Amino acid sequence: MCRRIPVSEARCPRPGGRALIEFEDKGLALFNIDGELLAIDDSCPHQGASLCGGRLEGRVIQCCAHGLRFDLRSGYLLNSPVLKVPCYPVEVIDGEVFIVIAAEETVS
């Protein structure tokens, strides 16, 4: 089972943009990379800094705190299969945007 978090049109980022989406007690960072919407936890797996405001290069986000870089599509730290930020599918249904979170991922 999963939950679909609606993103209003006003909050949905345009190409090249990003938005912080609040959901219950967590923040989700939503990026629009050339029209592709990619969502991750807004919490760096290193020490929890916000990733939404990081430096974006292609589909790689660099954490402002200590510079670790994550692939927005996979969530993985570049060149590492170990450290990963949770990332979530984004669906567009009848023009409405939803971030999809599996039920077990909402328990943290």
Token pair belonging to 107? 């328990």
In the complex, least distance from residue 64 CB atom to ligand FES, rounded to whole angstroms: 7
Dmax (CA) for the chain in angstroms is 40
Nearer to ligand FES, 32 or 43 (CB): 43
> Can you tell me the distance from the alpha carbon of 62 to that of 54, in angstroms, rounded to the nearest whole number?
5
Nearer to ligand FES, 5 or 63 (CB): 63
CB burial of 72-97 (b: ≥16 within 10 Å; e: otherwise) equals beebbbeeeeeebbbbbebeeeeeeb
In the complex, least distance from residue 52 CB atom to ligand FES, rounded to whole angstroms: 12
In the complex, least distance from residue 57 CB atom to ligand FES, rounded to whole angstroms: 15
Nearer to ligand FES, 33 or 68 (CB): 68
Residues of this chain that interact with ligand FES (CB under 6 A) are 44, 46-47, 49, 63, 65-66, 68
